A and B are shown apart, each in its own frame.
Chain A
Amino acid sequence: MTHQIGGLDVAKIREDFPILSRTFDGRPLVYLDSAATSQKPQQVIDAVSDFYAHHNANAHRGIYTLGEEATERFEGARAAIARFLGAPSADTIVFTKGVTESINLVANSWGRANLHEGDEVLITEMEHHSNIVPWQMITAQTGAALRYIPLTDDGLLDLSQLGSLLTERTKVLGVTGMSNALGTITPLRQLIDAAHAVGAVVLVDAAQLAPHHAIDVQALDTDFLAFSGHKMLGPTASGGLFGKAELLEAMPPFMGGGEMIHEVFHDHSTFKAAPHKFEAGTMQIAQQVGLGAAVAYLEGLGMDAVRAHEEEITRYALDRLIDAGATVYGPKDASARGGAVSFWFKDVHPHDLATIVNEQGIAIRAGHHCAQLVMRRYDVAATARASFYVYNTKEEVDLLADALDHAQSIFS
């Protein structure tokens, strides 16, 4: 087995992931669907288990010692995540159950307060449904218009008409940092500067970017950045939203309930300061503690090494898949893209392909990847998608390529 890929000792990393020792009909699991959700290292599983076994209580409520321990670990995770994203303080990180909730929070809280008839929301045709549907809903309610940055034939954002799309009417730009359907890495800094030049705020969907790429929200100067813990080695329902302090402070709460209030009267309530005013009810305490352990794990690997591994294995996969006869959607240059590789293989429908390679123990995604606008843009009903993370090897890519040959032999 190749041990070093892009600066990661993959063989050693694999020992941390107990699920990778599973077999299916005697064949080892080849997990190539990390863009959907990543596997979890023992360190994260232990952090969640240790929290429940030794420190479980509700956060921010108990006067007793156990409650203080729970609060300390919950807030410790917030601080760790803030550091991981380069945020100026832990108070700029709102915990949510992931990108979908984070974008709904911004669309509803910021959107309801700031969007009016005549205003425009600008997103891209590359977005995951979670960065489309909340904006459709809020623009329908506020009377603002929703506009889209189109895509080039090569799977890049087509910025040739940006000047007419991003105008003084634009109040918010929502853009992915890395496409889950095409792999494309978008020019965030350029887009953020252009949006700020017309007075728009920017929300970055970092669901795919945060697991694979170092992020510094201050260097990016983004106003909001949404991330999902479960795609970056953390538990499901962990994740959050970075927001600039002055924006979060000015925004009304999203959901009402316990723990987000300061005082409740018969006719009104007052609210806590951010981030707590956005965290109504009992939070995903153990899950966010697990995410704290996940970012510690990623920091231990080094995000530059994580990105270098992704680039190297993606380059290898593009070569192998294209050689095998697959049509790949999105950029073909591994340095311009992430490790989610969407493709169509000859005459084999993606669903059939996913079933056939599953017989070899290989898990790939088939479908529209919650990006139906992308599918429509490239006139394809569905694609197969292989995606990679820190535990994947070139040998696994070889197994996929071999399985493609097998699929071809069935359908030819």
Chain B
Amino acid sequence: MALDDIYKEVILDHYKSPRNKRELPGAELQCHANNPLCGDDITVYAHVEGDTVAEVTFQGAGCSISQSSASMMTEAVTGKPVASALDLASEFRGMMAGDVDPSEDEFGDLVALKGVVKYPIRIKCAVLAWDVLQDALVDGSASGTQPHTVG
């Protein structure tokens, strides 16, 4: 991969040892989406306390980009106010569109995914989890799975 080695290591680390990859019993927010092009499949579970994203987990299967992005996302948004989590989702999409160039300070591990911009067909893989998170936080107040298809 031409992705810089350090970023590659971050992506592979999250892919091989995903964080917060489990169902979240009692999660009041839950959304599911898949990308039929490649079979990437993500369900995001979120528990919100007041205005804060108290806990986010995910389940799914797919390529290293989709799964590592989901793993990094759970770490990045946990403990944030809902509005900040949604802002981060927008900024992440901006980074994947090539419009935002965040520093590692702002984005942490997520900056590792910046290299995916070079592979336009795989940008969908990287943003899938974020789309599902946004659906969960904005529309996902009803319990249960909301089928949602992208790509």
The reply to whether B12 and A381 contact each other, CB–CB distance below 8 Å, is: no
Closest to A382 in B: B39
The reply to whether B65 and A381 contact each other, CB–CB distance below 8 Å, is: no
The reply to whether B61 and A381 contact each other, CB–CB distance below 8 Å, is: yes
Q: How large is the interface on A (under 10, 10 to 19, 20 to 34, 35 or more residues)?
A: 10 to 19
The reply to whether B1 and A351 contact each other, CB–CB distance below 8 Å, is: no
Q: Which of B33-50 contact A (CB under 8 A)?
A: 36-41
Report A-chain residues with C-beta under 8 Å of the C-beta of B61: 381
The reply to whether A349 and B63 contact each other, CB–CB distance below 8 Å, is: yes
The reply to whether B65 and A351 contact each other, CB–CB distance below 8 Å, is: yes
CB contact under 8 A between A351 and B122, given known A368-B39, A372-B36, A381-B38: yes
CA distance A410 to B147 in the complex (A): 34
CA distance A411 to B8 in the complex (A): 10
Report which residue of B36, B38, B62 has the largest number of chain A beta carbons within 10 angstroms of its beta carbon: B38
The reply to whether B2 and A359 contact each other, CB–CB distance below 8 Å, is: yes
CB contact under 8 A between A381 and B41, given known A355-B1, A411-B12: yes
**Can you list, as one digit per residue, whether each of B14-50 has a CB less than 8 Å from chain A (1) or not (0)?**
0000000000000000000000111111000000000
CB contact under 8 A between A351 and B38, given known A359-B2, A381-B61, A381-B62: yes
The reply to whether A381 and B119 contact each other, CB–CB distance below 8 Å, is: no
CA distance A351 to B63 in the complex (A): 6
Q: Which of A379-398 contact B (CB under 8 A)?
A: 380-382
CA distance A375 to B37 in the complex (A): 12
- Report if B95 contacts A (CB, 8 A): no
The reply to whether A349 and B1 contact each other, CB–CB distance below 8 Å, is: no
CB contact under 8 A between A410 and B36, given known A351-B63, A381-B41: no
Report B-chain residues with C-beta under 8 Å of the C-beta of A349: 38, 62-64
CA distance A368 to B2 in the complex (A): 25
- Report if A214 contacts B (CB, 8 A): no
Report A-chain residues with C-beta under 8 Å of the C-beta of B63: 349-352
- Report if A356 contacts B (CB, 8 A): yes
CB contact under 8 A between A359 and B41, given known A351-B122, A351-B125, A381-B61: no
CA distance A367 to B44 in the complex (A): 23
* Cross-interface CB contact of B38 among A356, A359, A382, A411, cutoff 8 Å: A382
- Report if A366 contacts B (CB, 8 A): yes
Looking at the assembled complex, report how far the CB atom of A383 sits from the nearest CB atom of chain B, in whole angstroms. 9
Report A-chain residues with C-beta under 8 Å of the C-beta of B119: 355
Closest to A356 in B: B1
The reply to whether A355 and B122 contact each other, CB–CB distance below 8 Å, is: yes
Report A-chain residues with C-beta under 8 Å of the C-beta of B64: 349, 352, 411
CB contact under 8 A between A350 and B38, given known A359-B2, A410-B1: yes
Looking at the assembled complex, report how far the CB atom of B92 sits from the nearest CB atom of chain A, in whole angstroms. 19
**Can you list, as one digit per residue, whether each of A352-375 has a CB less than 8 Å from chain B (1) or not (0)?**
100110010000001110001001
Report B-chain residues with C-beta under 8 Å of the C-beta of A380: 39
Report which residue of A351, A375, A381, A410 has the largest number of chain B beta carbons within 10 angstroms of its beta carbon: A351
CA distance A368 to B64 in the complex (A): 17
Report B-chain residues with C-beta under 8 Å of the C-beta of A355: 1, 119, 122
The reply to whether B37 and A368 contact each other, CB–CB distance below 8 Å, is: yes
CA distance A351 to B65 in the complex (A): 9
CA distance A288 to B122 in the complex (A): 34
Report A-chain residues with C-beta under 8 Å of the C-beta of B39: 367-368, 375, 380-382
Report B-chain residues with C-beta under 8 Å of the C-beta of A352: 63-65
CA distance A362 to B12 in the complex (A): 22
Closest to A25 in B: B2
The reply to whether A368 and B36 contact each other, CB–CB distance below 8 Å, is: yes
CA distance A356 to B64 in the complex (A): 12
The reply to whether B122 and A367 contact each other, CB–CB distance below 8 Å, is: no
Closest to A380 in B: B39
User: Which residues of A are interface residues toward B (Cβ below 8 A)?
Assistant: 349-352, 355-356, 359, 366-368, 372, 375, 380-382, 410-411
Known contacts A355-B122, A368-B38, A410-B8; 13 further A-B pairs (Cβ under 8 A):
A349-B38, A349-B63, A350-B63, A352-B63, A355-B1, A356-B1, A359-B2, A368-B37, A381-B38, A381-B61, A382-B39, A410-B1, A411-B64
Can you pick out 22 interface pairs between chain A and chain B where the beta carbons lie within 8 Å of each other? A349-B38, A349-B62, A349-B64, A350-B63, A351-B62, A351-B65, A352-B63, A352-B65, A355-B1, A355-B122, A366-B38, A367-B39, A368-B38, A368-B39, A375-B39, A381-B39, A381-B40, A381-B41, A381-B61, A382-B38, A410-B1, A411-B64
Q: 3 closest A-B pairs (Cβ-Cβ)?
A: A381-B39, A349-B63, A351-B63
